[in-house]
Structure 1
Amino acid sequence: MKTVVYTSDKKTHFFKELKSIWRDIKSSNFLAYQMTKRDIQSQHRQSLLGFFWILAPVIINSLVWLFLNGAGVVKVSTPEGTPYPVFVILGTTIWSIFAETIQSPITSVNSGKSIISKINFPKEALLMKGFYTSIFNLIIKMVPIIGILIIYNISPSWNLLLFPFYILAITIFAFTIGLIITPLGLIYTDISKILITGIPFLMYLTPVVYAVPTIGVFKFLFKFNPLTYLINDTRNTLVGAEIHSLMFTIILTAVSFIVLLIGLVIFRKSMPIVIEKIAG
């Protein structure tokens, strides 16, 4: 059996690395697909409610805020013409897509931590597994979106054509952030804990369950949060409201894609060091 010794190669040619990464992604695509299929089947095979658990966080979070608003415990403002149940269900669903995607790289690679130091295979397959799992869950999460639009008889406008682009923008933005922090997250478990703790907090600085405040310090916090524009415009594409930040989203997506390529190279070059650390 061939013995593979992992060492750190300090010489890096960026575009050659990208070409090599692309070649490994293509060659390991079937492996990533099979790992994704196996994980999805194992997670839901012995579950009575099956795929419902993918939707459970969205449904529970939405019901909590609908109850608080309906009981008068909190007074939530929404854009004129958008019923609050529509606003909150769309918002929490879109947010769950972001939250899950940002955690998918580190979660997926962590799940393969026991084999990455023992078996020589393209580690990008683990990233692709996380990405495929996020896409699968995203498709399932379209169910409440379609359901709430039908219930409230909201007719789509031409803006609906931009919905796939905005979902792609959120996915690339989130996956890029997750990828950048994955090497450190494999060595230090604190990174995963910070993500788990920080993402719910960040939701309250984003117009997920209530509109952007018009006064006070939170108005400025929302303004400097890029997710404010992504979440608002993605929801607007579904309810037929005006799109406000298309150019910002295009620029953010382009920058995210460039950083994603850099992140892939960093991930590839750092894996020998990471494997040495976790294997030792």
Structure 2
Amino acid sequence: MTDQSSTRLPETVYTPDSSVAKPREMLRDMFRDLARSGDLAWRLAVRDIQAQYRQNVLGILWAFITPLFTTLTWIFLQGSGIVAVGATDIPYPVYVFTGTMLWAIFTDAMNAPMNQTQSASGLLAKFNFPREALIVSGIYKILFNAGIKILLMLGALVIIGIYPGWHLLIFPLGIVSLILVGTALGLLVTPIGMLYKDVGRVIPLGLQFLMYLTPVVFAMPKDGWVATLFQINPLTPLILNARNWLTGFPPEQMTYFVIVNLLAVLMLLIAWGAYRLVMPILIERTGA
């Protein structure tokens, strides 16, 4: 005879009291649901990755094609003198190729929370499951795609004749930082994007402009107000150090790098809590 008490599902008690009034309990519930979401998140990620590459003839090559064409475009603009990109410590093709690859990882991380939530709108309306599963599944997909990009970057560097040194051991820290900041920002704007679809169209435009204020395709300016914008841009130390660790150069702006990551952790916690609080309201209002 089966013991029914051992198979009883966990009970959820709903009260009119806001969980914000009890932050300790709220944090406990957040991390409890995060732990519970692991298996579902993995299944969702595997399904999405298979669908993503099964429906494309070129498969995983798309992770390489877009940055490659961006690189070729900027090499042409720089070589023809149409655009002055500044002097770089490494050959410009390597600079722009690694920069666009790293930028793609950041943009994937920022877009993932909203994309995952919108694509699961039907599930959200019908089933009660930890919403964290959507965020974690997005991170799994980001890590998978980032792994492909990293292998392509390493292969390209070896072909060109640049061999990463021991700094390569620290390079994953740069990738984690890009994913952390991107996920925090993406999670912060997801509730707004669920209400107003225009947000999803505005974000790519904002990211395109922000890329030109980050050392992705342009070298760091030496002086002037543009140099100030580059310096205060919180993405600058992330891209700089990730590229430096990949190509064997010492890190730069490490104090700012640490500050940005600490603030990103705090922002992620705040955005995560806000996401949990507003999702039931958004599901009801949007009819997700």
TM-score by length of 2: 0.89
Displacement of 1:254 in angstroms is 1.7
The answer on whether the counterparts of 1:62 and 1:92 sit within 8 Å (CA) in structure 2 is yes
Instruction: Give yes or no for the alignment of 1:258 onto 2:273.
Output: no
The answer on whether the counterparts of 1:89 and 1:144 sit within 8 Å (CA) in structure 2 is no
Instruction: Give yes or no for the alignment of 1:216 onto 2:224.
Output: yes
Displacement of 1:161 in angstroms is 2.4
Residue of 268, 271, 277 corresponding to 2:276:
268
The verdict on how the C-alpha distance between 1:105 and 1:225 changes in structure 2, with shifts beyond 3 A counting, is: same
Instruction: Give yes or no for the alignment of 1:99 onto 2:107.
Output: yes
In 2, Cα distance between the equivalents of 1:214 and 1:251? 23
Displacement of 1:148 in angstroms is 2.2
Instruction: Give yes or no for the alignment of 1:51 onto 2:60.
Output: yes
The answer on whether the counterparts of 2:19 and 2:25 sit within 8 Å (CA) in structure 1 is no
Displacement of 1:9 in angstroms is 4.8
| CA displacement, residues 205-237 of structure 1 (integer Å, 9 cap, x when unaligned) | 111012012233211211221111211121111
Query: Within 5 A, what are the aligned runs for 1:1-280?
Result: 9-12=17-20, 13-80=22-89, 82-279=90-287
The answer on whether the counterparts of 1:8 and 1:269 sit within 8 Å (CA) in structure 2 is no
In 2, Cα distance between the equivalents of 1:89 and 1:73? 19
In 2, Cα distance between the equivalents of 1:274 and 1:8? 18
Displacement of 1:109 in angstroms is 0.5
Percent identical residues: 38
Displacement of 1:136 in angstroms is 0.9
The verdict on how the C-alpha distance between 1:264 and 1:59 changes in structure 2, with shifts beyond 3 A counting, is: same
The answer on whether the counterparts of 1:25 and 1:122 sit within 8 Å (CA) in structure 2 is yes
Which runs of 5 or more structure 2 residues have no equivalent in the other structure? 1-11
The answer on whether the counterparts of 1:8 and 1:273 sit within 8 Å (CA) in structure 2 is no
The verdict on how the C-alpha distance between 1:120 and 1:278 changes in structure 2, with shifts beyond 3 A counting, is: same
The verdict on how the C-alpha distance between 1:72 and 1:144 changes in structure 2, with shifts beyond 3 A counting, is: farther
Q: Could you say which structure has the greater relative contact order, defined with CA pairs below 8 angstroms and 6 or more residues apart?
A: 1
In 2, Cα distance between the equivalents of 1:105 and 1:202? 20
The answer on whether the counterparts of 1:86 and 1:149 sit within 8 Å (CA) in structure 2 is yes
Amino acid at match of 1:20: D
In 1, Cα distance between the equivalents of 2:195 and 2:110? 18
The answer on whether the counterparts of 2:19 and 2:26 sit within 8 Å (CA) in structure 1 is no
Which runs of 5 or more structure 1 residues have no equivalent in the other structure? none
Displacement of 1:154 in angstroms is 1.7
Displacement of 1:134 in angstroms is 0.9
In 2, Cα distance between the equivalents of 1:46 and 1:259? 35
Counterpart position of 2:8 = none
TM-score by length of 1: 0.92
In 1, Cα distance between the equivalents of 2:254 and 2:221? 21
CA RMSD of aligned residues (A): 2.0
The verdict on how the C-alpha distance between 1:8 and 1:201 changes in structure 2, with shifts beyond 3 A counting, is: farther
In 2, Cα distance between the equivalents of 1:122 and 1:64? 43
